[in-house]
Amino acid sequence: MIYDSHIDTPSQLLRCRDIGKDNRYGHVDFPKLRRGGVGGAFFALYTPPQMEADAATRYALQMLAATYDAVKENPSYAAMAFSPADARANEAAGRTSVFIGMENASPIQESLSLLRLFHRMGVRYVTLTHNGDNAVADCAADGSHWGGLSPFGREVVAEMNRLGMMIDLSHASDKTFWDCIELSKAPIIASHSCCRSLCSHRRNLTDDMIRALGEKDGYVGINFYPSFLSDDFGKSPEDAALLEESDSVESWFRAKPSDPERQKAWNEMRDRLLDLPRPGVKEVVDHIDYAIALCGEDHVGLGSDFDGIQVAPKGLDNISFMGRVVDEMRLRGYSEERIRKVSGDNLLAVMQRVINCSE
């Protein structure tokens, strides 16, 4: 079975998507997960960095509630999971496991009590930042406020270690990354990142970072966003203009997702985005190959970022096509054992190692 360390479907639940049915538009729903052979995925509670703390907490709770509701309404498809043992039990029962992650620590509001509460409600990793510095740490998009982790962020790292929550450094600044590597007693993950040597985007990881994750017994989930896979994506003036236009249309839709006119405009934009020249399955596996060469086959997996990206790689237009990544690995001579590791075993294994460090 395939396990994905990062999808942004909870925010789509608040945009009127019924994930119990096969949607023409959108990257993820339960039928697509089943067709893609996906045994489980981390549903990320993403809060935009510009949200005030109270609003971020409320929004995270709304997404969390909507995720629980969606699972309850589709018991033949899915079940919640809070540990690798839960995932294996769900797999045996023929159900997709829904794990919960939090993307951007803003909802914990400088409160370790709120961090503990979100853990009790099922959150099993926290992506410390998004595209804005927050009270915990600096991000890759800015990185100028704290010079890495804040004093409170250092407390968060220690408490997450104690709770057995995974610390996720996708979106973190380089300095935040190295602070966490130094301070954490447990393995570290980057749930949805790529290799900076293959694509120079600052959201990607340097060779030294990837090696450090391996040495820390951690994990990197390779991201599917074309901008993180190839420096060539969106570089022509026409392509850049279309991507900028798509941001505007999506923002308009997001402000009132129940409006049929806005839904139609966003769906038409998604059709147009599919005409962009995009990297594909081969580039995804190029990043997998490269990361394995640096940190070993036990520390690399898949963190697609589906439902959080404007457009997916060519041939991977939604999560039902995840098996194509496995096909490409087979074509490159990967053993079945290595394929199992990258497809999902590594994610469950690092989750268990972090839990074990808390005991």
Q: Residues 92-103: pLDDT tens digits?
A: 999 999 999 999
Q: In the numeric block, which tokens belong to residue 58? A: 């409320």
* Whether residues 102 and 243 fall in one domain: no
Kindly state the tokens that stand for 251. 């923002």
Based on the fold, state whether residues 271 and 176 are members of the same structural domain.
no
Specify whether 290 is located in the same domain as 197.
yes
Look at the pTM and tell me if it is higher than 0.85.
yes
Residue 329 and residue 182 share a domain: yes
Q: Are residues 224 and 285 in the same domain?
A: yes
194 shares a domain with 271: no
Host domain of residue 246: 235-277
**pLDDT greater than 90 at residue 143:** no
DSSP conformation letters of 223-284: P--HHHH-TTTT-SHHHHHHHHHHHHHHHHHHHSTT-HHHHHHHHHHHHHHTTS---BHHHH
Residue 126 has pLDDT above 80, yes or no: yes
Convert the pLDDT of each residue in 16-52 to its tens digit. 999 999 999 999 999 999 999 999 999 999 999 999 9
Q: Per-residue pLDDT averaged across 295-302, rounded?
A: 98
Distance CA 345, CA 222 (A): 14
Q: In this structure, what are the phi and psi dihedrals at residue 302, rounded to the nearest 5 degrees?
A: -120, 125
Number of structural domains, the chain?
A: 2
